[in-house]
Each structure stands twice: as C-alpha cells, then as structure tokens.
Amino acid sequence: MKTMNHKNNDNFFWTWTTQRHAARLSVTGSHDCYFRTSGGHHVLDAISTNFQVAFGHSCAPIKQAIHEQLDAMPVANPKHQFELKNRVSKRLCAFVDAGPGRIFYTLSGAEAVENALKMARQITGRNLVMARTKSYHGASMGAMSVTGDWRGQGHFGVQDATLKIPEPFEDPDLSLTRHIIESSGANNIAAMCLETISGMNGVIIPDAAWWRGIEALCHEFKILLIIDEVSCGFGRTGKNLAMHHYGIKPDFVCMAKAISGGYIPFGALWVKEGSAQFYADNMLSSGLTAYAHPLGLAAADAVLDLLNNAGFQSAKVALTGEFSAGLFDLKRHPRVKAIRNVGLMAAIDLKNNANDPPKMTWEHGLEHGIHFAIKENSIILAPPFVMTSKDNQLLFHALEKILGGGHLT
Ligand SMILES: Cc1ncc(COP(=O)(O)O)c(C=O)c1O
C-alpha cells in the first residue's frame, strides 16, 4: 500500500505536515468499520478516523436523521427557534449532567474551546489560562495557545496568555500547580483548560485525587474550569463523558467529534448556568453563520438516542471487554512497554531497542490492514463502538504481526 507522496502537486493542503512529504492513503469509500482503498483493500479504522466515527461508517440512524432533516429544513438562521434545537439543547444539558446550564453551538472542537476561552476571560475579567503540556485543544488561535504538544508551538498563538502546568504524574499533589497560580497571581487567571483524559497525546488517565485537587484549586482561587471532552466524550471511555468517571463539576464542557458521529461537522459548548447568566445583560460577542445547524442537531439527536439504547450499550460493553482482553494479551509482547486503556481507547507504548530503536509508523499499520495513530513511540487506538468480535480479532492479529515484524529503523 503506497502512502508516501514525494511529488505533491495537489490543489489542496495536507494538514500538520510539510506538503512535499505528506503521507496519504488513497480511498474510494467506507463501510462499517473499514475504509476501502483505491487498491481494493479494506482497512480497519481502529482510530475511528480521528476519534469521531465512533458509530462506524454505516450508521443507519445517523444517516436517516440527516436525510430526514435535509428534507424538513436543511438550514436555519442562528435567530431561528425550532423544536429540534430546543430538544437537542435540553438533551445535551441532561447528557452533561453537571447541573443547570446551556449550550453554545459550534462546528468543531476548536471553536468550542475558543468560545470557552473567550467567555471565561470575559466573565472573570482575567486574561491567563492554565493548560497541560501533553494536550491538544484545536488549531484556531486561542485553542492552539492552550495546546501543549508540538502543534501549539507555532507562531500564531497567544502563548503569553497561557500558563503551562505539569502533567498529573509530575505533580500528583498539585503543589507545583499551586505554586504557578500563586506566583502568577490568582487574580490574573481566568481558567484552567484541561482534557479530562487526553487521547492523541497518549491516553493519559489522571487519578481521581488529581482531579479533586484541580477542582479544589479552581474553587479556592475562583478559576473557571474548562473541560475538553472533544476526544474522550460521547461514550469513548465507557461513560457518557469521561468527566463522569471523576464526578467533575466544571464551568464549561467542550464537545465535538463523536457528537455527530463525524458525519457532519458539529460541536457544542456547555456553559454552567451561573456563568451563562453573565450574558443576561452583557453582550455575548460570539456567533457563527452555521450556529445550531439543523443537520448537526439531527445527527446529535440520533447519537444521543444510540447512547441511550440498552441494546447498543450492552453490545458496546461486550466489545469493550473483548478489546481490553486483547490488550491484556498484548502486554506480554516483548516489544510492549506499557498499555493504558479506558473503555474503547488505548495507548500501547513500545520499547526502545538499545541497538536499533524501533520507529513504528502509521504506514506499518496500513501495510497490515489497520488504521491507527502514532504518538511518539506509542500506538493509539480508538476503534468504533460497533466493531464486531471478528473485527476485534483482526485488529489484535494485525497488531501482533506488526509488533512481531515491525520495521526497525
Ligand atoms: C481534545 C481535543 N480538543 C479539541 C480538538 C479540536 O477539534 P477540531 O479538530 O474539531 O477543531 C481536538 C482534535 O483532535 C481534540 O482531540
């Protein structure tokens, strides 16, 4: 399967790469949990494309909801009120389950983060935002500024308004984080912006004590808490939102990706009613042309139905068990250093061979018919919730082959 593109004359940009060396996979279609390549292969989408295709590529209820909405009313003005908008907003607030709140709609995760940052600054009158190093929050200016990984190191962000805090394992009792707050002046800090469980940055799962400490610091210093559930939300970790594992009660929750199964660009920002009330008499200086887009709302409505469906949930629980069992077996592989797993999300850290350090790439997966992500020396998996047992077996069979014969470069 040829993926490297050394002579790039395409009339579009490839993201997060130099154009000359953009890796690519030529596809002609997708179905169930697979992409069909132009060479006629079927590649298992073990990363749900980019975490968003949680319900697979052939999800009839999402497709039907979009089709029906396309006929009923494909577009609406942000000032329009309609039943679907009322219903989905109510359902999303219940789904977040963190007390009274309301929804600001977006088309992406970055915009959800961006609007949370804007609101937190406006509500508190403070400018600084605290964020983790191993984090990604989106590619717009504000979201990129609070992004800790290499993608936030570009020249377009407003990093001087960001305070980087250590990773949970580096600061388990949060004394370093407290020091950062005290030395920067709590009165200057509007918010903390944190992924509940980081996905692409290595499935880092903070313990409950760390999260309790974060909430206590926010409470003590009146810092608003922005939770980013863009990757880990919507059933990915086994709960509706990852924050439900910890009982976190945030001020903002950013959602996107699986909110629409990825079938249509859509996102949502939940804002706690106490903060939302700020805008009762203050101007909300934010909006977008496709705000509360009916097709996105229809897709989200179908996604919420699926996550409430007992049959769907029990099949998902069974798959989660099979997925975890596969990971458990893989732990014994000599090339595996550690595995972190929660629900249908996992990072497999690979060992560095002293003589010839292995460098696993995306292409190694494709050569064996699976599509995963690579972060440094880890394989990241986030398969669709609708994988069959056979798909799961295929995934682990391929992983064993890749690890067994992985190219050492
Ligand atoms: C945790 C997290 N937040 C925000 C984003 C940005 O979302 P989008 O690409 O939809 O703007 C991403 C995207 O990967 C993400 O993983």
- Over residues 313-335, the pLDDT tens digits come to 999 999 999 999 999 999 999 99
Region 49-78 average pLDDT? 98
Mean pLDDT calculated for residue range 82-110: 98
Instruction: Name which residue leads in pLDDT, 152 or 341.
Output: 341
Q: Which residues contact 43 (CB under 8 A, 6 or more apart)?
A: 25, 34, 35, 36, 37, 366, 369, 370, 371
Cβ-contact 155, 142 below 8 angstroms? no
Which among 7, 41, 47 is positioned nearest to 25, based on CA atoms? 41
pLDDT of 111 over the 50 cut: yes
pLDDT on residue 267: 98
Q: Is 110 in the pocket of ligand 1 (CB under 6 A)?
A: yes
Indicate whether residue 232 lines ligand 1 (CB < 6 A): no
Q: What is the pLDDT of residues 173-230, one digit of tens each?
A: 999 999 999 999 999 999 999 999 999 999 999 999 999 999 999 999 999 999 999 9
Q: Is the pLDDT of residue 31 over 80?
A: yes
Is residue 236 within 6 Å of ligand 1 at its C-beta?
no
Q: Which amino acid is at 138?
A: G
Q: How far is CA 377 from CA 304, 353, 360, 373, 406, in A?
A: 35, 11, 7, 11, 12
How many whole angstroms from 137 Cα to the centroid of ligand 1?
A: 5
Which two tokens mark 255? Answer: 């959602």
- Closest among 47, 372, 98 to 242, alpha carbons compared: 98
Is there an atom of ligand 1 within 6 Å of 384 CB? no
pLDDT at residue 409, rounded to an integer: 33
pLDDT at res. 339: 98
Question: How many A from CA of 259 to the centre of ligand 1?
Answer: 12
Answer whether residue 336 shows pLDDT above 70. yes
Tell me how far apart the alpha carbons of residues 189 and 222 are, in angstroms, rounded to a whole number: 9
**Whether pLDDT at 373 is above 70:** yes
Residue 209 to residue 200: CA distance in whole angstroms = 23
The pLDDT-based confidence of 352 (bands split at 50, 70, 90) is confident
Is 256 touching ligand 1 by the criterion CB < 6 Å? yes
Of 61, 24, 67, nearest to 43 (Cα)? 24
* Mutate which of 257, 263, 269 for ligand 1 pocket (most atoms within 8 A of beta carbon): 257
By alpha-carbon position, which residue is closest to atom 13 of ligand 1?
A: 138
Residue 4 has a pLDDT of: 55
Place of tokens 């999303």: 92
**Alpha carbon distance 59, 301 (integer Å):** 13
d(CA 335, CA 384): 26
Q: How far is the CA of 348 from the centre of ligand 1 (A)?
A: 21
Residue of 351 and 112 predicted with greater confidence: 112
Strand 336-342, strand 370-371: pairing: unpaired
Residue located via tokens 């069979």: 397
Domains and CATH numbers, the chain: 27-56+310-405 (3.90.1150.10), 60-307 (3.40.640.10)
3-state class of 106 per DSSP?
strand
List the residue whose alpha carbon is closest to atom 16 of ligand 1: 231
Q: Residue 106 and residue 104: Cα distance in Å, rounded?
A: 7
Distance CA 365, CA 363 (A): 5
Judge whether 349 and 339 are in contact, CB under 8 Å.
yes
pLDDT, tens only, 135-187 = 999 999 899 999 988 888 776 667 789 999 999 999 999 999 999 999 999 99
Comparing CA positions, the residue from 260, 266, 346, 347 lying closest to residue 307 is 260
Cβ(195) – ligand 1 distance below 6 Å? yes
Residue 82, pLDDT > 90, answer yes
> How high does pLDDT run on average in the chain?
94
The closest of 135, 212, 200 to 166, measured between CA atoms, is 135
Kindly report, residue by residue over 256-315, the tens digit of the pLDDT.
Answer: 999 999 999 999 999 999 999 999 999 999 999 999 999 999 999 999 999 999 999 999
Ligand 1 mutation pick, 47, 52, 137, max ligand atoms within 8 A of CB: 137
The single-letter code of the amino acid at 167 is E
Pocket of ligand 1 contains residue 148 by CB under 6 Å = no
Spell out a b/e string for 369-388, using b for 16 or more CB atoms within 10 Å of the CB, else e.
Answer: bbbbbbbebbbbbbbbbbbe
pLDDT tops 70 at residue 354: no
109 close to ligand 1 (CB < 6 Angstrom)? yes
In this structure, are residues 317 and 129 in contact, taking their beta carbons and an 8 Å threshold?
no
Q: Check if 142 has its Cβ closer than 6 Å to any atom of ligand 1.
A: no
Q: Which of 326, 322, 341, 339 is nearest to 399 (CA)?
A: 326
pTM above 0.85, yes or no: yes
SS3 404: helix
138 C-alpha to center of ligand 1: Å? 5
Provide the terminal-to-terminal Cα distance of the chain, rounded to the nearest Å. 19
